[in-house]
Chains A and B, each alone.
Chain A
Amino acid sequence: MTELDVETLRRCRRGNPAALGMLYDCYRRPVYYLARRMVGEMEAEDVCQETFIAVFRSVAKFEGKSKLSTWVLAIATRVCLMHLRKRRRLNTAAEPTDAAEAEPMTLLSPSHELLNKEFLKRLADAMDRLPENQRMVVSLRSFEEMSYEEIARAMNCRLEQVRATLFRARCRLLKFLEGH
């Protein structure tokens, strides 16, 4: 993900439409991707719009303590969680639990043609079956700029939790991919 340059950011703070457009274009893809994974295609656009409203509203307050991309993704994370929370109020279906698993881990068989379309499709399906917090961590970790620390900040949790949740998510994805 490319970062917005300082000058453009300065113009965003003053409300320059071209600069705001650049900010939007710069981060729409990752924000949309996160939303798509977390709330599904139907609501992804809503989450995206709400995220950018929040980003534009507070860009003047962005202090540059983190990377802009991290800050935008942290806002997107909150908006996703708000949507999930609202949905949970309406839905009685049980959410898969995020219990620690002590089973032996599944390895990927060498027959997998890695990164081909079929593999990616199965991976995407497997991700959609993860519990919320595992899905969130895996999705955030798909962006190269998100370190454990940055993911922890975005999700408002401890770094150790990110490490453990990501590990559990990967084990479960492998299990799904191998068809268990």
Chain B
Amino acid sequence: MSTPASQHYAPLEWSAYLDGELPAARRNAMREHLRECPSCAAILRSFEAVQRGAEQLAQEPAPTQPQLRTRLIAVSAAIIARSRSRQRWLLWLGLIVSVVIITGLTAALWHGMTQPRATTAAVAASKVRVTLDRVLITRYFVEPPSLEYDVTIHNGDARPLEIIRVIVSDPLGEKERPVASALRVEPGQTLQRVFSRPVGENAQLRPGRYRILLETSDGRLVDEKVVP
């Protein structure tokens, strides 16, 4: 027996049905429908296979790390026990630092390998400069999207570069806006930074001029990028 397409339930609903996330009346009606509709039943079966598979994967045991476990618990227990102490936060900081150092070594090495090397050969032309490498809108799931400026600041001078303020402007309707302050770039240092400002939920990268301006103790450094 075939059912007219208009009477089928949407796949989105079968996904929610599988998770038990529908009101009881809806759920019951859908269960009835399943008995006479092979095409809806096939949709549900497909979602179910994926879900059961994912549950199965989540049962995988984690690798054991007895030494890390012992250290983490011993130090945490001591900290909680002394939790009224004034230096509590220092102890936590110590723990975080030590754990990050131990476990983060591999990651650090990996980052070191993948991070682009600072270019030192090509910058001799001007001693101190800022380059706006690119602009983009990044969407993070838990925060509002942000307009991000990837910037390289190079200090080829013999003295430290003192940046008082970093100001950006863009064609999204916002005029100049400070995004950072009090930065220092040591002599010979090339700094790669991302400056960002939050934008609206539906913001898109518009064509136009995107500008970064550094107010330094010696004047201004500017670079801009035109998005076509």
Task: Name A residues whose Cβ lies closer than 8 Å to a Cβ of B.
Answer: 13-17, 20-21, 24, 28-33, 36, 42-43, 45-46, 48-50, 52-53, 56-57, 59-60, 78, 81, 85, 88-91, 105-108, 112, 114-115, 119-120, 123-124, 127, 132-133, 136, 138-139, 141-144, 147-148, 155-157, 163-164, 166-167, 170-171, 173-174, 177
CB-based contact A144/B55 at 8 Å: yes
CB-based contact A13/B115 at 8 Å: no
User: What is the size category of the interface that chain B forms with chain A?
Assistant: 35 or more
- Min CB gap B90→A, angstroms: 13
CB-contacts of B48-93 with A (<8 A): 49-63, 65, 68-69, 72-74, 76-81, 83, 92
Given A53-B96, A90-B111, A157-B141 in contact, is the A107-B77 Cβ separation under 8 Å? no
- Min CB gap A107→B, angstroms: 5
CB-based contact A33/B62 at 8 Å: yes
Main DSSP-derived SS at the B contact region = helix
CB-based contact A15/B49 at 8 Å: no
Residue B36 at the chain A interface, CB threshold 8 Å: no
CB-based contact B50/A123 at 8 Å: yes
Q: Which 5 A-B pairs have the closest CB atoms?
A: A15-B80, A32-B62, A142-B58, A56-B76, A17-B77
CB-based contact A166/B19 at 8 Å: yes
Our pick among A30, A114, A148, A157 for the contact of B49 (Cβ within 8 Å) is A114
- Min CB gap A40→B, angstroms: 10
Residue B114 at the chain A interface, CB threshold 8 Å: yes
CB-based contact B53/A46 at 8 Å: no
Which residues of chain B are near A136, meaning CB under 8 Å? 141
Q: Which residue of A lies closest to B140 (CB)?
A: A85
- Min CB gap A103→B, angstroms: 11
CB-based contact B58/A33 at 8 Å: yes
CB-contacts of B80-119 with A (<8 A): 80-81, 83, 92, 95-96, 99-100, 103-104, 106-107, 110-111, 114-115
Of the stretches B38-46, B179-187, B211-219, the one at the interface is: B38-46
Given A15-B77, A148-B21 in contact, is the A132-B138 Cβ separation under 8 Å? no
Given A14-B81, A163-B12 in contact, is the A124-B52 Cβ separation under 8 Å? no
Given A114-B49, A167-B11 in contact, is the A139-B77 Cβ separation under 8 Å? no
Which residues of chain B are near A53, meaning CB under 8 Å? 72, 76, 92, 95-96, 99
CB-based contact B54/A141 at 8 Å: yes
- Min CB gap B176→A, angstroms: 24
Residue B142 at the chain A interface, CB threshold 8 Å: yes
Among A13, A32, A107, A177: residue with most chain B CB under 10 A: A107
Q: Which residue of B lies closest to A137 (CB)?
A: B141
CB-based contact A50/B99 at 8 Å: yes
Which residues of chain A are near B123, meaning CB under 8 Å? none
Our pick among B49, B68, B77 for the contact of A108 (Cβ within 8 Å) is B49
Residue B194 at the chain A interface, CB threshold 8 Å: yes
Which residues of chain B are near A107, meaning CB under 8 Å? 42-43, 46
CB-based contact A48/B76 at 8 Å: no
Which residues of chain B are near A42, meaning CB under 8 Å? 106-107, 110
For the complex, what is the distance from the CA of A108 to the CA of B41, rounded to whole Å?
12
Q: Which residue of A lies closest to B18 (CB)?
A: A170
Which residues of chain A are near B43, meaning CB under 8 Å? 105, 107
